A and B are shown apart, each in its own frame.
Chain A
Amino acid sequence: MCKQLFWWRRGTDDRAARRDFDALYRQLYAPLVRAAYAITFDLEVAREISHEAFMRFWERRDRLAPDSNEKAWLMRVAVNLAISHRRGFLARLRHQPLVTASADPARLALDRIEGAAMRQAMLSLDPRERAVLAMRYGKDMSFAEIASLLQRPQGTVRTVCRRALNKLHRRLGGREAGGDATTLSDPVPVVNVQ
């Protein structure tokens, strides 16, 4: 595939370009959505981020180095988009716990996962921390691989991972110690608009 990808980057074979892009899209769409969801915990946002990553990839296909790793490039873009997604005010509002009546089977399945406590505990983390956890324990990536993808020092990644685990440990542990979920809920950097 690498040779073909090189061709369609150069725009010499339109049909091959579309075919290879389609193959790449089918192969990587779901992993990208999962990775973005593990950071944003918002399925629609995760889908939008994944599409945005593919659109950027397509737009920049002529500028990618011939030996570049498409999968790593797409994952890096998706993860960075998911991390920076937190900045927007509306993005914060979207993270409120919702009672959804959606018929979207994926969303319904996701809503059943681990219940509200785990979701809230995850949302209480910084998006960078969620990203590191998702790559470490969701994708089984090494610290070196994560550091390479995030373009951060490996020591920083280890520290972020350790701190995130400690936070989750404290928060999930506190909840299980018998506290009321409402009064002892741990800090969640979201806005609950009533």
Chain B
Amino acid sequence: MMAERDVVDRLTNLYREIDDAIPELPPSWRPDSHRRLSRQSWPIQLLATAALLVIVIGGAVLIKEARLRPSPAPVTSPSPQSTSPSLVSLSNWVRPMGLLTDRDGWVVSGNALNVTRDGGTTWRAITPPAYSCCAVFFLDAAHGWAAGAYNPGSHAVGTLKIFGTVDGGATWKQLDGAGPASLACCPTLDFVDPQHGWLAYQDNDASGGPVGKLLRTTNGGASWSALPTLPAVPVEFHGIFQYMQVRFASSSTGWFVGDDGYGGTQRLYLTVDGGLSWQPQSVPVPGTEAGAVTHLTVPSFLSDKEGVLPVTLNDGHVLLDSTSDGGATWSLGTHLFSRSSPPAAIQGNEAPTFIGNGVTAIALGRELEINSGTGWTSVSPNGIAGVIYSIEFANARVGWALSGRSLCQQQPCITHQVLLLRTTDGGHHWSRVGGAVGSADSAVGASLPMGPLALVVLGALALIGSTFKTRSVTFRLRRQRSQQEDAWLDK
């Protein structure tokens, strides 16, 4: 083993070599072009100011007229998004999909929440009126909750608001939230019944360090109360989707996986009082792995007492610890699942697993290990070109998966697709879920007075136009700058 002094020496050498490799001469770039932008931008700024004034005046009239009308209690979803949900855009730090039955499911792509009732053939946009949509949890096809940054009409960072639906997203009602003043990282919802739910999120303490926060509702989301700060920072789910590992099995018992917020040792924490207090639990690993870095996943339960806790070991092996006392204690798993070649798809994170609906599935790179009650089967899935980021099954036959693939012929490549795929034969064959998003009723647009609304729209368009013009100039400058850099490098 190398001494720590050697590590420091290697580090010093590394930085010295970086200094040598990156040349001293900067590409030619002066602020004068930027200053020209500033000088010439006064008409743009004037236009933007006028647009803002129009928006403010229109908005004020709109609010005044809206107050004279009877307020609709539920908020209906806005106009649908036109994007296909089969191509998932992971632009938010939320759980991107949920499969409720073999026909019902939802996908968050970009800022759009879409649902299907026919297994993915057709889709309906049910995005709640949040600017940044949204952490989603559906208990069943009817009862759902969504939490997003709520700031309609503004591109500023919004306040985290929570919405609830009892009709599958046809209408949403904004719920009273005791949420953070600004949008925090990775909001994660979990409900055990229509009344009891939790919202976990990451915030910053006074010194700017990450802390884990938890809200609880006992009345379906009508009101939320802040619980004591979590004893650790909830770990983001395999570091890609960045929703957090928090799961409750009942109104009192739940778990979360936490670390120090800086990638330190992960620990499993248990609460038996609904989140008021937490205790770390011992998670057994093989003796050879003692002290090694492990990546934990919150447990899933097959019955009141029987549960499974996936543990991804440092070398990529996956272990399923088990409990027969409702999660009070955990026993060492007897089966080690190894990641296959090609090398681990997602290194340094827990392997995507799904446990429920009679199916246990583990994604190991591009390979699957599936147990539908008749023992473990290794599956090389047909139709999945990339690595599997997430997997869920509605029953032993029907499942969804998110898979990523590169779009470029040459490396380096930063253009990737994340596809929503579906199987109907237990994971052996997968095909891309198709269908475009259909229309949804929009009572909000119909109920608003059109005159002021037109003013607001006009103002917003002008504002967007002025912003776009400013941006396009900036992009031109950056492109020019890049060309200058290239020219310098070619010398």
Contacts and interface: CB of A to CB of B under 8 A. Distances in A.
Interface of A: 14, 17-18, 21-22, 25-26, 29-30, 33-34, 37-38, 43, 47, 51, 54-55, 58-59, 87, 89-90, 92-94, 98-106, 109-110, 112-114, 118, 122, 124-126, 128-129, 133-134, 137-139, 151-153, 156, 160, 163, 165-166, 168-169, 172-173, 176-177, 182-194
A37 to B, nearest CB: 6
B18 A138 contact: yes
Given A173-B1, A188-B347, 14 more contacts: A17-B31, A26-B26, A29-B26, A47-B485, A51-B478, A51-B481, A58-B31, A105-B489, A106-B21, A114-B13, A163-B262, A176-B2, A189-B347, A194-B406
Contacts of A104: 489
Contact of A194 (B30, B34, B207, B386): B386
B119 to A, nearest CB: 27
Contacts of A194: 342, 345, 365-366, 386-387, 405-406
Interface stretch (B215-223, B410-418, B431-439): B410-418
Contacts of A55: 34
Contacts of B65: none
Contact of B12 (A112, A137, A177): A137
Given A58-B34, A94-B412, A99-B411, A192 B343 contact: yes
A138 B346 CA distance: 30
A93 B348 contact: no
A95 to B, nearest CB: 10
B72 interface: no
Nearest to A166: B4
A74 B442 CA distance: 48
Contacts of B35: 14, 18, 58
B488 to A, nearest CB: 10
A135 B404 CA distance: 35
A183 B90 CA distance: 29
Ranked 8 nearest A-B pairs via Cβ: A187-B348, A138-B15, A29-B26, A109-B21, A173-B1, A126-B263, A188-B347, A188-B348
Interface of B: 1-2, 4, 7-8, 10-15, 17-27, 29-32, 34-35, 90-91, 93, 207-209, 239-240, 242, 262-264, 293, 295, 314-316, 342-349, 365-366, 386-387, 389, 404-406, 410-412, 414, 416, 478, 481, 485, 489
Contacts of B34: 55, 58-59
Contacts of A191: 240, 345-346, 387, 389, 404
A25 B386 contact: no
A101 B410 contact: yes
Contacts of B348: 124, 186-190
Contacts of B389: 191
Given A14-B35, A89-B91, A187-B293, A193 B489 contact: no
A126 B263 CA distance: 6
Given A30-B26, A128-B262, A156 B4 contact: no
A71 to B, nearest CB: 15
Contact of B8 (A54, A122, A137): A137
B26 A185 contact: no
9 contacts: A33-B22, A92-B239, A112-B21, A156-B209, A168-B7, A173-B1, A191-B240, A193-B386, A194-B366
